[in-house]
Amino acid sequence: MSYKLYYYPGNANLTPHMVLEEIGAPYELVLLDRSKNAHKASEYLKLNPHGRIPTLVDGDLVLYETAAICLHLIDRHPKAGLAPELGSAERAQFYKWMIYLTNTVQAEMIVYFYPERWSETASADVKRHAEAHLDGMFDQIEKDLAAAGPYLLGNRFSAADLFLTMLSRWSRGFTRPARTRPALARLLERVAARPAVQRAFAGEGITAPFY
């Protein structure tokens, strides 16, 4: 089998890209140049009518939404061990983290990066409040990691750690980036050192500092 992942360097495609590298399945990267609004082109909109990145093509299946793509790949390649066994309590915790990261943290990141969508006249205030909310989220993640780390699932590495790495990378411009928290910094260092993650970074032209 071979996959096709539509991407733009460092965007929400980074997590499924890392997952693909961890899995080791063949895939093709298709660049969408956001600077030229390629993600809004008619041909791409036939695949993803929302005009967002990423989109995964798996044979006749076309799938978008980062978390959905990751969960699909994990289910297709269970031997890669990127999630605990189905039906287990650990799997439920994995789902919790994946949903929290996409529904809560990533959603607030959208507010931070696109504040004008919420207010054209007070976008600076919207952005400031979003950063404050995200600081609280990263603080809570830090507490959880400090209590039961080194990974989100304790001693077990999972795709949730890849998702957290991508979101932490997005915080580079914050007053308190995710990396300033000790337990989170250790997780990011561990994840960034993985060969599969290094290959994904290189494939997107991402250079140090990674987060």
Q: How far apart are CA 73 and CA 25, in angstroms?
A: 10
Q: What is the pLDDT of residue 126?
A: 96
The predicted-structure confidence for 101-144, as pLDDT tens digits, reads as follows: 999 999 999 999 999 999 888 899 999 999 999 999 999 999 99
Q: Could you tell me the CA-to-CA distances from 193 to 43, 100, 135, 164 in Å, in that order?
A: 37, 25, 25, 15
The CATH superfamily assigned to 3-81+198-203 is: Glutaredoxin (3.40.30.10)
Give the burial class of 43: count Cβ atoms within 10 A of its Cβ; 0-12 exposed, 13-18 middle, 19 or more buried. exposed
Segment (H or E) for 135? helix 123-148
Q: How far apart are CA 48 and CA 44, in angstroms?
A: 6
Q: What is the pTM of this model?
A: 0.96
Over residues 171-181, the mean pLDDT reads 98
Place of tokens 């970074």: 201
Give the burial class of 194: count Cβ atoms within 10 A of its Cβ; 0-12 exposed, 13-18 middle, 19 or more buried. middle
Q: Kindly report the average pLDDT of the chain as a whole number.
A: 97
Pairing status of strand 27-31 against strand 3-7: parallel
Q: Which phi and psi angles does 4 have, rounded to 5°?
A: -130, 125
Q: What is the pLDDT of residue 120?
A: 84
Segment (H or E) for 64? strand 61-64
Find, among 50, 89, 93, 94, the residue nearest to 71 by Cα. 94
Q: Assess if CATH 1.20.1050.10 describes domain 89-194.
A: yes
Segment (H or E) for 73? helix 66-76
Domain boundaries, the chain: 3-81+198-203, 89-194
Task: Please state, for a pLDDT cut of 70, what percent of the chain lies above it.
Answer: 100
Q: What is the pLDDT of residue 129?
A: 97
Q: How far apart are CA 98 and CA 74, in angstroms?
A: 12
